[in-house]
Amino acid sequence: MNNVYRRVVVTGMGAVTPVGNSVKESWSSLVEGKNGIGPITLFDTEAFKAKLGAQVKDFDPLEYMERQDMLRSDRYTHFAVATASQAVTDSGIEGKVAPEKFAVYFGTGIGGIGTFETEHSKLLEKGPRRVSPLFVPMMIANMAAGTIAIRYNCKGAAMPSVTACASGSNAIGEALRAIRHGYADAVIAGGAEAAISPSAVAGFVNMQALSVSTDPDAASLPFDKRRGGFVIGEGSAAFILEEYEHAVSRGAHIYAEVCGYGSTCDAYHITAPHPEAEGGARAMIEAMEEAGYTESDRVYVNAHGTGTPMNDTTETVAIKKALGEEAARRAYISSTKSMTGHMLGAAGAVEAMACVMALNEGVLPPTINLIEPDEKCDLNYLPGKALRADIDLALSNSLGFGGHNACLAFRKVVS
């Protein structure tokens, strides 16, 4: 399909994660197996069963925005603006693309839940007159995309994707399609989330989705027999996606080609994955077909790998269905959520960054704390330590509440 549509490449990246506030720092931590999980400090967890989170650390939004703008926006928007700023600087795209052909596709699963909690408390405790006039624009899930577009004069589409844990991946995938079909020449794409908040943690823990472990090294356990739920995380990652000839003509550094995208729905249940993994497998197959997959490809899969009992076994089934049993056993697979926790709407974007870096560096990040493998999760999940290996194709899986499945495929650029 790359011969039919315009080719799309990555020319810039930014990241703010629980293991680093830049791509360089985050990637180094992932390769080293650094655990970003620890006690939640953003609110008092005394009454909560779940007390651990993967928080962003030492982050100062004033490095990326004026104080007035910071006070008028939610924490998830702070993360989004920071990573977009990093990606734009990295790419050198600013001023090199027509505003009408410059777009923003930025996802979030929840949006400004911290703002919602603050202003709702004001409503209950002090009355309606004390609710901020900026409550709605700070809270709504499109505002990260809108704020980025305003900052960089992006007059093409400015679209949020809100597909739960697939939001970041869907944003990148839909940006890919916009460039392929000529609606944009460049897109700022990614995802952001800042949902380590009382109501979110209470909701997730009461539906028995969160780990209640108090040991950071025994909490986020993808593919491990001991796993008991995910650890909530936060952060953002952003990409500059650019039409290949446009990037070449301005001498841009090209990290990788975005060569495939699959987006499906299980149409089965609001939270549970389909037990036969049909939708997840089909998303992978669609991405692989677009990427020109062959059995000779050396494949790395950054798994959704949340550490919930159902997700990990179902995703294992999906990988086997998509690749075939033999090729699935040859593939390298890992879940970086073992280190970052589950960053919800930002997860797909951060994990796509890990895929691009794995292609560039020839190093595959591990699944840490995988000590007691589940017999039903019987593939090569790179337990414990990073692996040096050259790969041809990197796949990033995202599976969200509502049955949303997304898979992104990346290759090294061949001119």
Active-site residue among 78, 246, 274, 304? Answer: 304
pLDDT band at 2 (very low <50, low <70, confident <90, very high): very low
> Average pLDDT, stretch 246-266?
98
Residues 6+ apart with CB under 8 A from 282: 262, 264, 322, 405
Calculate helix-pair angle for 347-361, 167-180, nearest 10 degrees. Answer: 70
**pLDDT grade, residue 5 (50/70/90)?**
confident
Catalytic residue among 154, 165, 355, 407: 165
How does DSSP classify residue 207? T
Segment 16-43 mean pLDDT = 98
pLDDT in tens, 349-371: 999 999 999 999 999 999 999 99
Task: Report in angstroms the alpha-carbon separations of 186 from 159, 240, 352.
Answer: 14, 7, 18
* Ramachandran angles phi, psi of 314, nearest 5°: -65, -40
pLDDT exceeds cutoff 70 at 55 = yes
Q: How far apart are CA 289 and CA 297, in angstroms?
A: 12
Q: What is the CATH number of domain 8-402?
A: 3.40.47.10
pLDDT exceeding 90 applies to what percent of the chain? Answer: 98
Instruction: Write the pLDDT tens digit of every residue in 186-242.
Output: 999 999 999 999 999 999 999 999 999 999 999 999 999 999 999 999 999 999 999
Q: In this structure, are residues 311 and 221 in contact, taking their beta carbons and an 8 Å threshold?
A: no
Alpha-carbon span 258 to 411, nearest angstrom: 7
Q: What pLDDT is recorded for position 4?
A: 61
d(CA 258, CA 267): 27
Instruction: Say if residues 213 and 330 touch (Cβ distance below 8 Å).
Output: no
Mean pLDDT of the 284-303 span: 98
Q: Is 342 a catalytic residue?
A: yes
In the block, tokens 């009355």 appear at: 127
* pLDDT score for 278: 95
Q: Is 181 a catalytic residue?
A: no
Query: What are the backbone angles phi and psi of residue 340, rounded to the nearest 5°?
Result: -95, -5
CB 303 within 8 A of CB 382: no
Position 414 scores a pLDDT of 84
Q: With 70 as the cut, is the pLDDT of residue 3 above it?
A: no
Catalytic, 377? Answer no
pLDDT at residue 309 greater than cutoff 70: yes
Gap between the Cα atoms of 242 and 247, Å rounded? 6
Residue 205 has a pLDDT of: 97
Residue 208 backbone class (left: φ over 0; alpha: ψ -120 to 50; beta: rest): left
Average pLDDT along the chain: 97
Are the C-beta atoms of residues 240 and 369 closer than 8 Å to each other? no
pTM more than 0.95: yes
Distance CA 219, CA 383 (A): 15
Distances (CA, A) of 66 to 80, 147, 207: 15, 13, 39
Considering 78, 246, 342, 404, which one is annotated as catalytic? 342
DSSP per residue, 4-35: TSPPEEEEEEEEEBTTBSSHHHHHHHHHHT--
Q: Three-state DSSP class for 75?
A: helix
Q: Give the residue among 381, 283, 268 at the shortest CA–CA distance from 331.
A: 381
Q: Are 104 and 148 in contact (CB under 8 A)?
A: yes
| Closest by CA position to 407, among listed 188, 236, 169, 108 | 169
